[in-house]
Amino acid sequence: MGGSKPASKRRVATVKREVEKLIAQCRLTVKRGADPFQVDVKGSLATLRNFIELASSLDDIRLDGEALYNLSTIVESQDRWIKFRSSKLFVDPMFIESRVKTASSRMLARILVSCWTPTASIDTLTPSMLDLAISYWNRLKPLKGRWGRLSGSSTEYLTLSFDEASKLGLIYDKGFEELLSSIEDYVKRLLSIKDKVEYSEVVRGSWVEMVTKAYLISFLVSSGRLGLVYDPSTDRFYITSYSRSDMPRSIAISVGVGG
Amino acid sequence: MGSKRDLEERARRALQLLLVQRHRKPGVKGWELRRSIGKNYLNILEYLNEKLDSYGLCIRMVYEGEETTPDQARFLVTVKDSIRMSEAISAGWRIDELAILAASIAYIASRQGSISSRELLRLLEVKFPSWFIEATLRRLIRYGYLERDGDIVKIGWRSKAEIDGGKLLELIVKMDVVSES
């Protein structure tokens, strides 16, 4: 008799889990519009009968009620499912799927348009919006005042050739990976001589060169191809080889003309 | 209801309410019409509908969710006959977007009105890149053509109002894929 109590408790727990699973299954079936006949209503009712016989608390009874309600929604879905399948509107989803897959976009669009009657509506300007617009207009400074910072009265449009754009540094004449590799090789050559290289030494050059190198190095450091350390005693940044022990963090380095 | 003049006046007010878009969604709720033009608003809408018919427009009533009474339904004016492809394109729609809408509605309708978004994506990914599908679905959901409830995608209130689902399914079933492609 002493061993039967824990065994009974275990049984209640098992059945309870089954009931909870049943509730979840019912809800999912109804929500997804899946085939409600996949739920074994008869078997589930037998489980519930078993559960109510073992029920010992108010919570168990509440759970039983919830499961019964969810089962009833399945029965309702089964009714709807049969009505839908026997209606004129029913078309096998698999068939629709295959038609959609084989039809062209233009054909599908044309079909949609032939059964589409769009809504007619008017976007309107209300008196309060007009009021807002008038006060904005009154507060708006003349164009001259707002554009005073810009020199010249007219804007001319020029066309840049590929070489000119390349000279100005607006476009690169090499591929991005090529540029990355060249600077990586350069830094690695320096690192073969000493443990760390000062950041400002590497990026030194004209303004365009410096920004380009800074961008490439940030890319190499972010992707783990190089490392970057900060020495607070000298307030300088150094490029090193990448170490897995480095803690990933974001570093902002300001660069000026001339490094 | 009063005189003919009163009827005309109420119909005019109803048309303004129906056409002027005051919120994000077009149209107006039944209870708003009741408040503005009186409890006989359904009769007035019927009268207005007859008038609009000659201009190729009609009034539609659509239930957005589980509502069951006209007061809770949304009323809007739609064109009576279907439009031309060129008109749809000039209204800002791309052919691919229309194709996605057609495929989604047909597939969802064949599945009793709701499917998981994963299933819908699986179908559409056969024809379109996923970034385009996601952007288009977002747009369709924003406009009310589709609805998303967690992982589930449903036919939106706007599709119910504007698109003849039965005809769409029929045309998809009957379409001549071989000659078209």
CATH code of B142's domain? 1.10.10.10
**Nearest Cβ partner for B101 among A97, A106, A112:** A112
B89 and B171 share one domain:
yes
Q: In the predicted model, what is the mean pLDDT of residues B85-99?
A: 89
Measured between alpha carbons, how far is B125 from A67 in angstroms, rounded to an integer?
38
Q: State the CB neighbour count (10 A cutoff) for residue A110.
A: 21
Name the token pair of A180: 């990355």
Q: Which residue of A has its CA nearest to B162?
A: A117
Distance in Å, alpha carbon of B108 to nearest chain A alpha carbon: 8
Is CATH 3.20.20.140 correct for A167-240? Answer: no
Q: Write down the pLDDT at residue A136.
A: 87
Q: What is the mean pLDDT of chain B?
A: 88
Measured between alpha carbons, how far is B18 from B41 in angstroms, rounded to an integer?
12
How far is Cα of residue B10 from the mean position of the Cα atoms in its chain?
25
Q: Quick one: which H or E segment has residue B75?
A: strand B74-79
Decide which of B79, B94, B109 is a domain's last residue: B79
Measured between alpha carbons, how far is B172 from B167 in angstroms, rounded to an integer?
8
Characterize the bridge pairing of strands A197-198 and A236-240.
antiparallel
B112 and B165 share one domain:
yes
**Nearest Cβ partner for B171 among A97, A114, A123:** A114
Cross-chain Cβ contact A121/B172 below 8 Å: no
Entry pTM: 0.57
How far is Cα of residue A122 from the mean position of the Cα atoms in its chain?
35
B23 and B109 share one domain:
no
Measured between alpha carbons, how far is B117 from A181 in angstroms, rounded to an integer?
43
Q: In the predicted model, what is the mean pLDDT of residues B127-151?
A: 91
Decide which of B79, B114, B143 is a domain's last residue: B79
Distance in Å, alpha carbon of A31 to nearest chain B alpha carbon: 7
Tell me which residue range forms the domain holding B127: 85-180
**Chain B residues touching A124 at Cβ < 8 A:** 20-22
Counted across chains A and B, CB pairs separated by less than 8 A come out at 166
B55 and B123 share one domain:
no
Cross-chain Cβ contact A101/B19 below 8 Å: no
Domain count, chain B: 2
Measured between alpha carbons, how far is B181 from A104 in angstroms, rounded to an integer?
7
For residue A172, what pLDDT band results from cuts at 50, 70 and 90? Answer: low
Distance in Å, alpha carbon of B23 to nearest chain A alpha carbon: 10
pLDDT in tens, B23-62: 778 889 999 999 998 889 999 999 999 999 999 999 999 8
Distance in Å, alpha carbon of B168 to nearest chain A alpha carbon: 6
**Chain B residues touching A92 at Cβ < 8 A:** 110
Q: What number of CA atoms fall less than 13 Å from residue A70's CA on the CB side?
A: 23
Q: Write down the pLDDT at residue B138.
A: 92
Q: In the predicted model, what is the mean pLDDT of residues A30-39?
A: 82
**Chain A residues touching B85 at Cβ < 8 A:** 109-110, 113
Name the token pair of B49: 């509908």
Q: In the predicted model, what is the mean pLDDT of residues A136-146?
A: 80
CATH code of B22's domain? 1.10.10
Q: Quick one: which H or E segment has residue B59?
A: strand B57-62
Q: Which residue of A has its CA nearest to B126?
A: A101
Q: State the CB neighbour count (10 A cutoff) for residue A29.
A: 20
